[in-house]
A and B are shown apart, each in its own frame.
Chain A
């Protein structure tokens, strides 16, 4: 376990120096139906229904680690209605995904180091 995890639970995720991605999930446990995404988490037995923009963000996060800022920029570029401030929106979605323990968080430096 990463020593950084010794922080109090519930503190915000994905500061500027952190990149996030979705935990590995079997393909058969994620279904896409129109604008709905349904996800089964075998570890706890929960079934999550994500809709619209949230479903889209989830799919982006499954593509690989990225920072909250990069996600927000990508969302801004899509010009989606009804999400308000994209940075705030992304942060709220990430906090919710973190609460559900569906996120893997790693320091950005690690990310860059492993890529170079």
Chain B
């Protein structure tokens, strides 16, 4: 583990130590936290531990600025969900809010300081067509111009192509399950919907049940995503486990649900790496019970090597000689897990070519940023 990663992890797990840091260390800590999208979260954590106000103005102001951005994003997420509900409720479509917006609506500890850019919802597969139409009538349009991307989403993915609201420019991802139908693991979306928990005071608006929320977080991180926000997502998972884990019934239910939903491997990874990075308290019985759920011996040390790099903040000071290769292997893995090889290879080639083309369409500097 590089010094930059260690600095951030120590700050997250033992916030009181930040008060002892030199200005040089705080300079690095703020930058690493920013790269990991954890600056606002660190701000809340330090405030809770009474450390924030003891920090020098320079670093403190950056953390506070990030917290302000995060506060506003949460207001916007609440408003977006209200608008989605307004569009879908009259059609009788139940909506399960996922990920960041769900943590906000459910008032979970991991919502505080959580930065996010889009809202994710889950609707019954049978209601997908109606959902898309109702959202379209209320200003959400599909801005995927490229025909290949369109058919990629519709044929292989577990979501509609991302929708953008014409007025507010917000992005919405509509899922009908939590992993693509082509993925190796086959969780049953029907069970997720059946056990979803209503958000109090609002009809037909839900979040996932605690065990499913944890499993979704772990699955998204280890079997679906490209680890861009690896450490941020890992801290979400850590927070969820600490919060729900206070209930002793939670742990056996979590393991049982993981087996039932065919998500035991992502749970294994989730617990292994939250514990390694963030010292998450996990009952010994649970670790024991999952001992057969991980990869076998030759693969296990390799996955450790990959994830220890892939989950670290993507910042130059957190990188070592293997970081680039590790990230690339994890990227290929995430796609491999999502689709069979004969579908994957043409897709990755196509993506690589397009990525090169897109480099040229990057933002030109000489325009002042608009909010």
Contact = CB atoms under 8 A, between A and B. Distances in A.
B10 to A, nearest CB: 36
Contacts of B92: 6
B202 interface: yes
A8 B90 contact: yes
A6 B88 CA distance: 9
A77 interface: no
B203 A1 contact: yes
Contacts of A43: 75, 78-79, 82
A6 B89 contact: yes
Given A9-B86, A9-B138, A45 B72 contact: yes
Contacts of B108: none
Contact of B90 (A5, A42, A45): A5
B87 interface: yes
Contact of A42 (B75, B86, B87, B168): B75
A43 B87 CA distance: 17
B76 interface: yes
B139 to A, nearest CB: 11
A113 interface: no
B90 A7 contact: yes
Contacts, number: 28
Nearest to A43: B79
B87 to A, nearest CB: 7
B201 interface: yes
Contacts of B203: 1, 3
A26 B95 CA distance: 30
A5 B75 contact: no
Contact of B202 (A1, A3, A7, A44): A1
B75 A9 contact: no
A5 B79 contact: no
Nearest to B205: A1
Contacts of A7: 90
A7 B92 CA distance: 11
B304 to A, nearest CB: 44
Nearest to B91: A6
A32 B40 CA distance: 35
A44 B90 contact: no
Nearest to A8: B90
A1 B82 CA distance: 11
A98 to B, nearest CB: 12
Nearest to B87: A9
Nearest to B85: A1
A43 B201 CA distance: 18
A44 to B, nearest CB: 5
Given A44-B79, A45-B75, A9 B90 contact: yes
Interface string A25-42: 000000000000000001
Interface of B: 72, 75-76, 78-79, 82, 86-87, 89-90, 92, 138, 168, 201-203
17 contacts: A1-B89, A1-B202, A3-B203, A5-B90, A6-B89, A6-B92, A9-B86, A9-B90, A42-B75, A43-B75, A43-B82, A44-B76, A44-B79, A44-B168, A45-B72, A45-B75, A45-B79
9 nearest interchain CB pairs?
A1-B203, A44-B79, A6-B90, A43-B79, A1-B202, A8-B90, A9-B86, A7-B90, A6-B89
Given A43-B75, A43-B82, A45-B79, 11 more contacts: A1-B89, A1-B202, A5-B89, A7-B90, A9-B86, A9-B90, A9-B138, A43-B79, A44-B168, A45-B75, A45-B76
